[in-house]
Structure 1
């Protein structure tokens, strides 16, 4: 392992390695309030996310949804004072969860097999902790558990979580394995769990749940660095199984444990300062696959070497962008954002390529890495376009993974929001289309057939049973009285249809181009000229009478209101501006978006929008208007894009636990930060253009996979000099407001000359 590490180090350019960007990564950013990030250990795009849990809340209380559950989508809230354990799977920045699998907790003293409560942690296996005794780094997490004076350390490889617990002297040291943990996440229910004690240091098993994902199964293999002296479990079984349980005393030293509610325990004697280590591998296929992953990725017990290898992997990926900034906080914000963009999608296959498919059969990924965790309504906007620049091979594999999902789908649909061999059908649109189109239009066609991908996109867009599509295809819009969030759906379908048309044109499919370019104009059907806003229309062709442009509920929108969604025509911004009264009037409209005052009722009606995520009525904490600041580029006031972007950056991103102004949403918020810091943004994925803004870095070097570099320089950069006086591309004056994907991928240099006053 050390030989591998040294070889990896010496293979990097000396300048990049010297920068050591991993030291600027602070995974604690976004762990407070609504950022919903996790602080634990993982590697780039890793299958294991080993991280602490700080509470276990019931999904329902008195038969009703418990709103406090929403805070714990990533399992950890910075303001909490106790830790209940460390589990192996987490989403980063989402508004739902389904994970928190296989919680492990070390304890000493009398055995307790319930988690206790946050106000009385001593009533269970929970422990108090202090942030003063907590270390959070890329691929490494450390915390002192006060109740038992135990030092917990975590690191990980792609498929294996590595625990190291330093115990005091005790003849009552325990490792608890809780297979019930995570049940509070999105109403997650255990269908069945199974644990098999193979010998005195090796455990295997699986967990099957039915929650957000209806049929999710995760297998594991767990091995200890030291034999345990005794083990057992607690299992609340129903009457069907009680007879079987009477035949044996299964509570202690019985090698098979099965049921819905299992908490197992393993006992040790420990000397002062003794370390008990645990390697915990996951597999989507079998316990045999988990064992193969464990023995392949971490064959030894050198915790520090695995930590170092994980951080070297992070350095390798983060070094694809080298930046210079005026302040260290900007370095922290940038590299933590880049870190967050590399957390998902996640690897979903064993080291031999085996994975569980959407059809619940086992498949082999031949010649590509299979990925899962596709939060596409969020990530199509900036995350996947960022991958087409910095991670093109991975993004091509992600497209391949989506196409395999399509092949395994009985509906013959591309993924909408998928994870762990399940389609959750969460959010709206069919934005796999956008991701695939963006890759094809930018020439990232590696390992898949572009024409077959186009057919998959077209078939997805024609699936009448999906979310109002039948009405959309008949009427040219989704009617609100037939299908809710109708305006949002109409606008997003029209954009995706435009993406299909662009690919069809590129590939010479005139029939498909004609079909979908016509559909891409359907945004016109929900524009109400009398109000100047997109407005819900009924099946009789009339606009809905009740209409509140500020409300986010029941008005035909999702995670936005009329002000935000009326700007969502990324495929035709110039036409949209003309439709809304022309450049001058539209500029005033945008100005109002960023400066207006929202009433208190606006915040009272929604759980996932906080005041921290809003500027005026611009909701940066949700995605529909992420492109809004760049729309000034289509008016006579492009300098206002520069002003708005540089205003948003420090307001929405800070180097603190509460430093994200909304859910990071699998890296979308962070991808916005990366693009905007570099000075350009993909307003319309599927197009090859990026709108110019105002870079916040002094300089940046992008190391591209094709061996070339693209450089960004901001002359006279400062917090006050947010306006761009002139631009040069490759040494020549550049008078356009957009650069192309080829401008970047062919290598070169763009220079922004910054000024305190706008060039109007």
Structure 2
């Protein structure tokens, strides 16, 4: 089975250095032969060893994926393991030994468990307690081959680092189990998290990170891929960072690097780098330390606005100061007692218009004795080499500000004055993290799960990041910030920003398309008051610029689809978060949904048509994805509208607006159903004319891209978490949805159908490697799918899938892995935390959590107000994955979901588990929240007007109207009333007082709700009055009446609006009719004193 391939080691290794082992340089190749016996053994040279207490077998294995194999058989190389024979003839695999995930170490079990990842190193740990006292006489590579596969290429791979070691004694303090390197064993082409190893406080202003590749502003810390030939890892700097994601958001980067010889004279990135091994690192969020050659130790810790570094240096040593590029400055004032070094930094990834200038002040604990400015010629204005005079380690304190140098100095004095030591900051930061991790306490979990849980909690509270700075005192803070919400060509000074400095708190670094799914529900559940502060920090973007960013890093970057802050806001409301400014939060969502954005970074795409059609067409890239996300967000606004209505005074002037919006947006949410193509049983994009993009003959649901953002049609077949019953009805009922889900989890992802991506992207490979059909838990669009069995009568399938995912897809934390794909701003970590404790926010803004099978025996949510909720999993084992019964405070609980308000009261949830599926939660009354009732089809009420009929049915009945051609489409000979019913905002009519636009229905219809789309805001209209608004208030200067008639001549008014509020230009508003009346005709008549730029009219039945 072992073979000599002539190759030293793995060559296709996207996350590690080719041709080397995990830690060692040498590898042992293996190949699984296709011969008679299924089990094959090859002896490995290893000295005899008597097994002592607390000893483990460790080894690394790299199975190679066979891309030529039939679907499902490319993973045969994972049927390999290391086995140990003892002096009594027994084999370890026969003694019941298992790996770190609880799977048997027999090769067939390793293969069938899908626990090994392909094309990357796996670190296996096997407890030897079953064989304690026995003597190891032989260590073998053992493999198993399946008779079902017959590819010409034999399964093969490599082993390395085989050793008998002592089991480490882990800390009982969860904070001390956090490993900030988790997720860093990644690359551009394959993700195991794609994380930056940040030293920071929760939601910190700054990060401190170690850098292994200072030339790369995205993947700055690479766990293995750019190791040296001796398999050591280079360190090229410790750095100030503000990254939101590896995918292009890093900015304002300062580099500090120790050197053994400050007189050396060559300080470029490669020349200055020092090698280390990962076992020489301590990597906690409150303290990073690495041991380097020449007896150098480098450490970091952090406050909110200050990153402190401590260096143990030889006598000839010093520090190198550098920046990512030359866009900055570096100034020395060595006699200044407060700070000796200052400057600014403009470095950023690409052309990020929202990245502000960062000012910094650096204070040193020892006098600077020499300064070699311009030490790096290509960045001479921002680089230097410095040496110090003094006894003991060098400590530098780096304070940063986006406002001014003066503010940076002020933050330095506030947060780390000279009397505060490096170790003081370590302990203070540690305490802050202990408070966050103390929100959820877990018991009975394995070490691997405890590390994953703790590290996940760290990632959850690492983002979003504070952007505000304290211009006051510790006792009386005065928060201000440099506003970047509306990027422009700021004119920064050498010591002060050109941005507007606003009062208040702002938060940045969040991709809402990712985070709405789990992490914002986590903030709202675990820490509602803090969630209110965080969310208001983004609402302040709206107060400053009129919009909340879709992807904020630190201002709007425009990534992804959907204005997902809308559902985040709604979820906070429904979850009982006491929002600081609920009305502004609501209005921010309302603007996304009802107006046209002329900035691609904010708002929704295609609102000039989609608002009326009910979908974003294929003319917009990924239009279907936009459509389905819009529906979810509209559901959220409907929920938020009802919440606002329930929480305002009965005399509030917006009551009618909230009531109308709750109906209107609920109906808009239901338009997802028109994107379902029943000919193929998948959601599909529609063209501008309403046709589906593809015919059944040309449609393949495995193909990526096109309509589907970062997935394929399978991946979006269940993207309606707010209406599971409606989705089930589209598939023919609960049984139909169950069959569709079963097909999803059994149809293999092959990564062969690249579609419009035109290449294999990392998400395809990661989804393939999960080996659960199309289930791409590696990416956010799939995170809810396993939970959709809640609408099938088979919730036990959710329980099995989630438990399996938790058991094997989040391994490898100790070697920089830990995630099956990108960990985005804490979202995947929150999926892990929620699923582990047995709760899941399937439908944000529903006010409920779904109950599932916990992956640990006990967890307790300790709310900040002292209330505790405990979740007990009785008879918990790795094999007991199915829920048999649930009790809440001792009483039987049949529902699959539980109200958040009840969880917050402090309860005990008891979950009985067993090895076989139970019947808990299988009745129709057990189902989770759904917009559509069980057994009914999802139906959106359609506008009773039609673009196709408007030429014949619409009539303008007044002279003097003027054609409004906002889109330069050309000029018609006369105004055409059909323009107001063409499902487009592009052009409309300027209607004068007494002008009327009527529409004849196909039969008598009863209008329950209507919409009016105006080109100008009410503010603009009032300013346009000849006399302007009076000082005492706004005049009734414009408005309309809605009238109905059976004969087209005698009209009855059913609604009248006088100066309705339109806060923004190009907005659509909905209005309820209090007493609908059936009629053949409807008429819009302008009243008041001012003409109206009307773009669209819609009429809806009840």
Q: 2:313 aligns with which of 163, 167, 172?
A: 167
Does residue 354 of the first structure (1) align with residue 480 of the second (2)? yes
Aligned to 1:430, the other structure's residue is in SS state coil
Q: Distance in 2 between matches of 1:392 and 1:436?
A: 13
Compared CA separation, residues 349 and 602, structure 1 to 2 (3 A): same
Q: Distance in 2 between matches of 1:463 and 1:260?
A: 46
Q: Greater CA deviation, 100-109 or 492-501?
A: 100-109
Q: Distance in 2 between matches of 1:679 and 1:439?
A: 21
Q: Distance in 1 between matches of 2:404 and 2:763?
A: 37
Q: Distance in 1 between matches of 2:424 and 2:333?
A: 27
Match of 1:230 in 2: 370
1:522 shift after superposition = 2.0
Q: Distance in 1 between matches of 2:308 and 2:611?
A: 52
Q: Deviations over 1:588-611 (max 9, x none)?
A: 221222222222425752134433
Q: Greater CA deviation, 533-542 or 725-734?
A: 533-542
CA-atom RMSD in angstroms: 2.3
Compared CA separation, residues 261 and 417, structure 1 to 2 (3 A): farther
Compared CA separation, residues 93 and 425, structure 1 to 2 (3 A): closer
Q: Distance in 2 between matches of 1:573 and 1:500?
A: 18
Q: 1:429 aligns with which of 558, 562, 567?
A: 562
Question: Which structure would you say has the larger Rg?
Answer: 2
Match of 2:212 in 1: 54
Q: 2:532 aligns with which of 380, 390, 396?
A: 396
Q: Deviations over 1:271-321 (max 9, x none)?
A: 8x8411110111121111111111111113522221111111111211111
Compared CA separation, residues 541 and 512, structure 1 to 2 (3 A): same
Match of 2:549 in 1: 415
Long gaps (5+) in structure 1:
1-17, 59-68, 182-189, 237-250, 252-258
Q: Distance in 1 between matches of 2:625 and 2:691?
A: 17
Q: 1:556 aligns with which of 694, 701, 707?
A: 707
* TM-score between the two structures when normalised by the length of structure 2: 0.60
Q: Greater CA deviation, 221-230 or 104-113?
A: 104-113
8 Å contact from structure 2 (residues 745, 775) kept in 1:
yes
Q: Distance in 2 between matches of 1:436 and 1:261?
A: 47
1:539 shift after superposition = 1.2
Does residue 115 of the first structure (1) align with residue 274 of the second (2)? no
1:460 shift after superposition = 1.6
How many aligned residue pairs are there? 683
8 Å contact from structure 2 (residues 539, 548) kept in 1:
yes
Q: 2:359 aligns with which of 208, 219, 238?
A: 219
Q: Greater CA deviation, 655-664 or 351-360?
A: 351-360
Does residue 474 of the first structure (1) align with residue 604 of the second (2)? no
Does residue 22 of the first structure (1) align with residue 183 of the second (2)? no
8 Å contact from structure 2 (residues 702, 714) kept in 1:
yes
Match of 1:64 in 2: none
Q: 1:541 aligns with which of 687, 690, 697?
A: 690
Q: 1:703 aligns with which of 858, 862, 872?
A: 862
1:49 shift after superposition = 1.1
1:56 shift after superposition = 3.6
Match of 1:284 in 2: 402
Q: Greater CA deviation, 195-204 or 500-509?
A: 195-204
8 Å contact from structure 1 (residues 375, 416) kept in 2:
yes
8 Å contact from structure 1 (residues 36, 92) kept in 2:
no
1:624 shift after superposition = 0.7
Does residue 610 of the first structure (1) align with residue 769 of the second (2)? no
Aligned to 2:207, the other structure's residue is in SS state coil
1:413 shift after superposition = 1.9
Aligned to 1:639, the other structure's residue is in SS state helix
1:91 shift after superposition = 3.2
Long gaps (5+) in structure 2:
1-170, 228-232, 472-478, 487-497, 598-603, 646-657, 920-1102
Aligned to 1:445, the other structure's residue is in SS state coil
Q: 1:387 aligns with which of 523, 526, 533?
A: 523
8 Å contact from structure 1 (residues 614, 621) kept in 2:
no
Question: 1:467-506, aligned counterparts within 5 Å?
Answer: 467-480=605-618, 482-506=619-643
Match of 1:621 in 2: 778
Match of 2:851 in 1: 692
Compared CA separation, residues 504 and 101, structure 1 to 2 (3 A): same
Q: Deviations over 1:554-585 (max 9, x none)?
A: x2111111111121011111101110222112
Compared CA separation, residues 99 and 417, structure 1 to 2 (3 A): same
Aligned to 1:291, the other structure's residue is in SS state helix
Q: 1:316 aligns with which of 435, 455, 464?
A: 435
1:705 shift after superposition = 2.3
* TM-score between the two structures when normalised by the length of structure 1: 0.86
8 Å contact from structure 2 (residues 751, 760) kept in 1:
no
1:728 shift after superposition = 0.3
Aligned to 2:180, the other structure's residue is in SS state coil
Match of 2:821 in 1: 662
Compared CA separation, residues 613 and 343, structure 1 to 2 (3 A): farther
Does residue 372 of the first structure (1) align with residue 508 of the second (2)? yes
Compared CA separation, residues 270 and 228, structure 1 to 2 (3 A): closer
Q: 2:321 aligns with which of 170, 177, 190?
A: 177
8 Å contact from structure 2 (residues 735, 792) kept in 1:
yes
Match of 1:129 in 2: 276
Q: Distance in 2 between matches of 1:308 and 1:46?
A: 16
Which structure would you say has the larger RCO, counting Cα contacts within 8 Å and 6 or more residues apart? 1
Aligned to 1:296, the other structure's residue is in SS state helix
Aligned to 1:394, the other structure's residue is in SS state helix
1:269 shift after superposition = 5.1
Q: Deviations over 1:385-415 (max 9, x none)?
A: 0001122122111221121101221xx2222
1:90 shift after superposition = 4.2
1:744 shift after superposition = 0.8
8 Å contact from structure 1 (residues 73, 96) kept in 2:
no
8 Å contact from structure 1 (residues 229, 266) kept in 2:
no
Q: Distance in 2 between matches of 1:667 and 1:633?
A: 25
8 Å contact from structure 1 (residues 87, 100) kept in 2:
no
Aligned to 1:30, the other structure's residue is in SS state coil
Q: Distance in 2 between matches of 1:92 and 1:697?
A: 31
Does residue 45 of the first structure (1) align with residue 203 of the second (2)? yes
Q: Distance in 1 between matches of 2:405 and 2:221?
A: 25
Compared CA separation, residues 74 and 666, structure 1 to 2 (3 A): farther
Aligned to 2:548, the other structure's residue is in SS state coil
Aligned to 1:307, the other structure's residue is in SS state helix
8 Å contact from structure 1 (residues 167, 270) kept in 2:
no
Match of 2:730 in 1: 579
Aligned to 1:521, the other structure's residue is in SS state helix
Q: Greater CA deviation, 514-523 or 489-498?
A: 514-523
Q: Distance in 1 between matches of 2:243 and 2:219?
A: 7
8 Å contact from structure 1 (residues 527, 533) kept in 2:
yes
Match of 1:633 in 2: 790
Q: Distance in 2 between matches of 1:129 and 1:115?
A: 18
1:267 shift after superposition = 2.1
Does residue 523 of the first structure (1) align with residue 672 of the second (2)? yes
8 Å contact from structure 2 (residues 874, 910) kept in 1:
yes
1:161 shift after superposition = 0.6
Match of 2:743 in 1: 592
Q: Deviations over 1:52-107 (max 9, x none)?
A: 1111446xxxxxxxxxx8xx445443443211101111436653332361111111
Q: Distance in 1 between matches of 2:770 and 2:214?
A: 26
1:113 shift after superposition = 5.5
8 Å contact from structure 1 (residues 195, 203) kept in 2:
yes
